[in-house]
Amino acid sequence: MNLLNNQVAIITGAARGIGLAIARSFAAEGAKLVLLDNGCEKDGSTPDFELVKTVGRELEREGAEVLALPCDISNEAQVERAFEAALERFSQIDILVNNANTLRDRSIFDMSLDDWDRVLSVGLRGAFICSRAFARTSRKARSGGKILNISGISGFQGNISQANDSAVNAGLFGLTRTTSIELQRFGICVNAIAPIAKTRQTEHLPMFDKVQGTMEPDHIAPAAVYLTSELSEDLSGAVISVAGGRLSTYQLAESRGRMKESEGGLWTPQEIADNFDSLSRL
């Protein structure tokens, strides 16, 4: 369909899993690709700068136009150089996919500050640095564009041993909502996907023993194309959940609540306890 014909897309964490599936899907729709990845292990250790270059050559053999750059997206200077290289090669940047993340699952008792800091540094700080670079580039060029954040359901539901990852994903929801508001007047739409898919980050989970072939990164790619193409028009601030063939959206919902008219609206702790069920009802 050429939904992304001649669009230039920067994709972080592009050398494996969901990022690579999105890259292939974008290329099939006519996009030119800028792949950012430092080739590290899933906990952020032992980077391999050749990995993204190898993947880039593979995609070129499949017919894609590719600029593959080793990049630690938590490093502001590296991101700035990557955006400069993208503009030098393609003269424009139309799409940003913030997909890179890292995992260091630990219980709250055992999670070190380094475990916390590294996961937030890549998943949230990196998304902010890239989003800011994209917004500045787009505003200067007056070109508009699309930002897509790859979040996760742990940010909405929580998950055992993932206080750091849950904080990242909840933060990505807030980043999506706020940037969608701020960047609207510049013609930039910002949305998110919260995927459930079998990748190297999640393949150890028991749930994937029973769903072989039904929750793969390829299931995520069509939603990514939708949210970065003209099909989504001016949709912004949305979060689509993709779990195999099941699609849904995440939305914050405030209960109807209750108003206390007497005593200046000042509730006592006991009154809150007595009325908690009713004030929580949707």
d(CA 164, CA 167): 5
Domain spans of the chain?
A: 8-251, 254-282
Write down the pTM of the prediction: 0.93
Contact between 240 and 193 (Cβ < 8 Å): yes
Q: What is the pLDDT along the chain (282 residues), one digit of tens a residue?
A: 799 999 999 999 999 999 999 999 999 999 999 999 998 888 888 888 999 999 999 999 999 999 999 999 999 999 999 999 999 999 999 999 999 999 999 999 999 999 999 999 999 999 999 999 999 999 999 999 999 999 988 888 888 889 999 999 999 999 999 999 999 999 999 999 999 864 555 545 544 456 566 768 899 999 999 999 999 999 999 999 999 889 999 988 899 999 999 999 999 999 999 999 999 999
CATH class of 8-251: alpha beta
Structure token digits, residue 136: 């500045």
Measured over the CA atoms of residue 242, residue 214, residue 106 and residue 123, the dihedral's sign is negative
**Cα-to-chain-centroid distance, residue 62:** 26
**Range list of β-strands (E), the chain:** 8-12, 32-37, 66-70, 95-98, 145-150, 188-196, 239-243, 246-249
